[in-house]
Amino acid sequence: MAKKTIVKMPGDGIGKVVLDETIRVLEAAGFDANYVEGDIGWEFWCNEGNPLPERTLKLIEEHKIGLFGAITSKPKDAAFEELAPALKEKGLVYSSPIVGLRQHFGLDICLRPCRSYKGNPLNFIRRGPNNTIEEPEVDVAIFRQNTEGLYGGVEWSNPPDQVYEALMTHPKFVKNFGETPQEELSVSTRIFTKKATERILRAAFVHAKKYEYKSVTVCEKPNVIRETSGMMYKMAQQIQKADYPEIELWNTNIDAQMMWLTKNPENYGVIVAGNMFGDIVSDGFAGLIGGLGFACSAQFNPDTGIGVFEPTHGSAPKYADYETSIVNPIAMIESACMMLDFIDENEIAAKIRKSVAEVIAEGKVKTYDMMKMTGRADVVEKGAASTQEMADAVIAKL
Ligand code: IPM
Ligand code: MN
């Protein structure tokens, strides 16, 4: 197989350290690739007015596979404050580069697996009958529609006349908002297309079939958000009936799902949701398997073969300057395994996952989160493994 080139995008904060450690693991596991660095993140916003420079898009276009660390995002006004003075007159508006990347390349399929590792001290436990303690085994694959819905970016404060007039044609708008002055309105749209909805649903069913999950759950809110959530559920019913009768189709509302999360997480298999609810439910399940130090993701466009793989934790700027990095690299390592699966390097992925599982099961090497410490520079002195030590432990098992 020709040697792959991977676009590595450290991004902000701790992104760089988890990415570097992960590449060390990949190399130790025998994954032979070239790496080129893609600029992305806060620094490029401040200095160039664009957190996602054109040259980075070109690199991804060319090489197709991106490994991404983490990103710092700030609200519009705070972002403007930090812009280089020379750029302040240009009318630039900050928007999240990771959301931009998803949209630019149509990375509409986002997969976020949440699987508990045996022996992880952060695994969720609950009280069973007679005060017993139960540790349910969580194995959920969340499919998040990654480009549309509330992330579509179609929004206004003080909407323009044409938009306002269009809204005024809707009787509910007239009734509920018709008295509010136009300039006092903020509108964010939630647009779903049939095409993208079908793509995410089918991806979920294909996955359920391939990995023998017994159910697909549409996690939305069709009882209230009738058009978008309603369309998604209806399409899921059609797809299930026509093509996947052997897989059960469940339907939960996002609010109730968050409550059931701790009640019966072992009952769920594949979950599929729109963009925002997928964001929410994936963080919810990640909390059951160890939190953001364990939450990995893949986002890709099956048509172009472009994929970007990233941990779903943030950039944790407060930990970024520690001389010895303390953050847990497992989410990034797991994301790299998803990348390996995507490019058919399944054997190397399996080898790395096995090593991670062994390190966790053994319980000797634990980052501060796994030791339930508050993240501070002295956690390593107190016995927590550093980022590098965790990566070393995984490499030793390889
Ligand atoms: C995620 C993150 C992003 C999102 C942020 C950083 C824009 O929370 O990947 O889940 O909301 O999608
Ligand atoms: Mn999120």
DSSP for 190-250 reads -B--HHHHHHHHHHHHHHHHHTT-SEEEEEE-TTTSTTHHHHHHHHHHHHHHHH-TTSEEE
> Residue 249: which of 269, 226, 265 has the closest Cα?
269
Cα-to-centroid distance, 305 and ligand 1 (Å) = 22
Separation of alpha carbons 98 and 151, rounded Å? 11
> Residue 115: which of 133, 132, 136, 146 has the closest Cα?
136
Closest-lying ligand 1 atom to the alpha carbon of residue 146 = 12
Q: Looking at residue 296, what is its pLDDT?
A: 97
Q: Looking at residue 22, what is its pLDDT?
A: 98
Closest-lying ligand 1 atom to the alpha carbon of residue 98 = 7
The list of the chain residues with pLDDT below 70 reads: 1
* Fold topology of 124-151+191-288: Isopropylmalate Dehydrogenase (3.40.718)
Question: What ligand is nearest to the CA atom of residue 69?
Answer: 1
Task: Among 312, 315, 332, name the best residue to mutate to test ligand 1's pocket (greatest count of ligand atoms within 8 A of Cβ).
Answer: 312
Cα-to-centroid distance, 130 and ligand 1 (Å) = 40
Q: Which two tokens stand for residue 106?
A: 């149509």
Cα-to-centroid distance, 164 and ligand 2 (Å) = 31
Q: Looking at residue 388, what is its pLDDT?
A: 98
124-151+191-288: same fold as 1-108+319-398? Answer: yes
Cα-to-centroid distance, 106 and ligand 2 (Å) = 18
Closest-lying ligand 1 atom to the alpha carbon of residue 99 = 7
* Fold topology of 1-108+319-398: Isopropylmalate Dehydrogenase (3.40.718)
Q: Which two tokens stand for residue 353?
A: 């996952």
Cα-to-centroid distance, 386 and ligand 2 (Å) = 25
Taking CA atoms only, the protein residue closest to ligand 1 atom 11 is: 279
Q: Looking at residue 2, what is its pLDDT?
A: 80
pTM: 0.96
Q: What amino acid is encoded at 29 in this protein?
A: A
Cα-to-centroid distance, 130 and ligand 2 (Å) = 36
Domain definitions of the chain by residue range: 1-108+319-398, 124-151+191-288, 155-188
The answer, yes or no, to whether any atom of ligand 1 lies below 6 A from the CB of 146, is no
The answer, yes or no, to whether any atom of ligand 1 lies below 6 A from the CB of 73, is yes
Closest-lying ligand 1 atom to the alpha carbon of residue 71 = 6
Q: Looking at residue 76, what is its pLDDT?
A: 84
What number of residues does the chain have? 398
Closest-lying ligand 1 atom to the alpha carbon of residue 283 = 10
Closest-lying ligand 1 atom to the alpha carbon of residue 96 = 7
Contacts of 63 (CB under 8 A, 6+ apart): 4, 5, 6, 7, 36
Helices marked H in the chain: 15-28, 42-48, 54-63, 76-82, 97-104, 161-167, 171-177, 194-210, 228-243, 254-260, 275-288, 317-320, 330-342, 346-362, 387-397
The answer, yes or no, to whether any atom of ligand 1 lies below 6 A from the CB of 310, is no
